[in-house]
């Protein structure tokens, strides 16, 4: 019987072309007020180590809400003292708006935008003066129980972000077009159009020399935001009335008064 001879297949060289990319520096100006609502430390602590049930006496002597403490905890903060602002919003919010806007655009898909675009920072600085927003909401329980939520609202706001994108699948103009759509039909923050319940958090892309953008960068930067967070001002009459009643009620019950 003749011996078998092994035949090695000819080697084939695989060539992989380099992935090219571009970076778009985009300047964003708010069209409608932005509501910031970070998941609070108190809520996270309750998830990590839930407290026991309180009896009626304990509930009467404890605060269900502390509006100004909730206001202070309602926004992401940049701890770097050299950061341009104190307040920020998650970069995932901006990318999420772009991905969802792709559903309404021809020639691309949500999955493609998710794979082909990147935002390096976790938080994007946001310029503008924060105010206190107290509003009535409905809980997610079966009874849709009403409650009060206190959040940070920026009546005017602006941001600068760098978006990396893969070429030639995407171009800088495509990113700008997508952001325009995202700012109009999706928005960011609470009560945004994407959720169908409000029109807050809408934005548009502007030039670097836009007058409103330049004004907000100067008048709504870190120093001004720090001062506004220490001495908060109510945004509307409903918030002002609720805060005034809250302080009166604290005194009546002999509890501490909000700062």
CB atoms within 10 A of CB 13: 4
Cβ-Cβ contacts under 8 Å for 242 (sequence gap 6 or more):
67, 134, 148
Rounded mean pLDDT, 158-185: 95
pTM of the model: 0.83
Higher pLDDT, 250 or 61: 250
Rounded mean pLDDT, 215-240: 95
Place of tokens 């970076």: 23
Average model confidence (pLDDT) for the chain?
86
At 248 the pLDDT is 83
At 25 the pLDDT is 96
Measured between alpha carbons, how far is residue 255 from residues 8, 39, 60, 70, 204 in Å?
86, 26, 10, 17, 45
Rounded mean pLDDT, 56-81: 79
Higher pLDDT, 14 or 203: 203
Indicate the burial class of 45 (C-beta count within 10 angstroms; 0-12, 13-18, 19 or more): exposed
Supply the Cα-derived Rg of the chain in whole angstroms.
25
pLDDT in tens, 15-43: 888 889 999 999 999 999 999 988 655 55
Omega into 168 within 30° of 0, i.e. cis? yes
At 45 the pLDDT is 46
**CA nearest 189: which of 198, 178, 180, 176?**
198
């Amino acid at each position: 019987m003749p011996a078998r001879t092994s035949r090695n297949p000819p080697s084939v060289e695989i060539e992989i072309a380099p992935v090219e990319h571009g970076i778009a520096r985009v300047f964003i100006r708010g069209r409608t007020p932005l509501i910031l609502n970070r998941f609070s430390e108190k809520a996270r602590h309750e998830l990590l180590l839930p407290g026991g049930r309180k009896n009626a006496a304990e509930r009467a002597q404890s605060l269900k809400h502390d509006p100004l403490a909730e206001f202070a905890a309602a926004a992401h903060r940049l701890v770097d003292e050299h950061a341009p602002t104190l307040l920020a919003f998650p970069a995932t919010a901006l990318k999420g708006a772009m991905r969802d806007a792709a559903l309404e655009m021809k020639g691309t898909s949500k999955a493609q935008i998710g794979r082909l675009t990147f935002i390096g920072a976790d938080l994007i600085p946001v310029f503008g003066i924060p105010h206190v927003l107290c509003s009535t909401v409905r809980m997610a329980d079966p009874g849709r129980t009403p409650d009060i939520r206190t959040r940070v609202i920026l009546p005017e706001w602006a941001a600068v972000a760098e978006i990396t994108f893969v070429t030639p699948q995407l171009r800088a103009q495509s990113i700008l077009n997508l952001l325009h759509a995202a700012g109009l039909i999706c928005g960011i923050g609470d009560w945004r159009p994407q959720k169908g319940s409000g029109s807050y958090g809408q934005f548009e892309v502007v030039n670097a020399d836009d007058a409103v953008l330049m004004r907000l960068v100067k008048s709504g930067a870190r120093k001004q935001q720090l001062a506004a967070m220490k001495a908060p001002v109510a945004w509307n009459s409903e918030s002002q009335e609720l805060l005034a009643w809250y302080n009166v009620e604290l005194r009546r019950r002999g509890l501490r008064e909000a700062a």
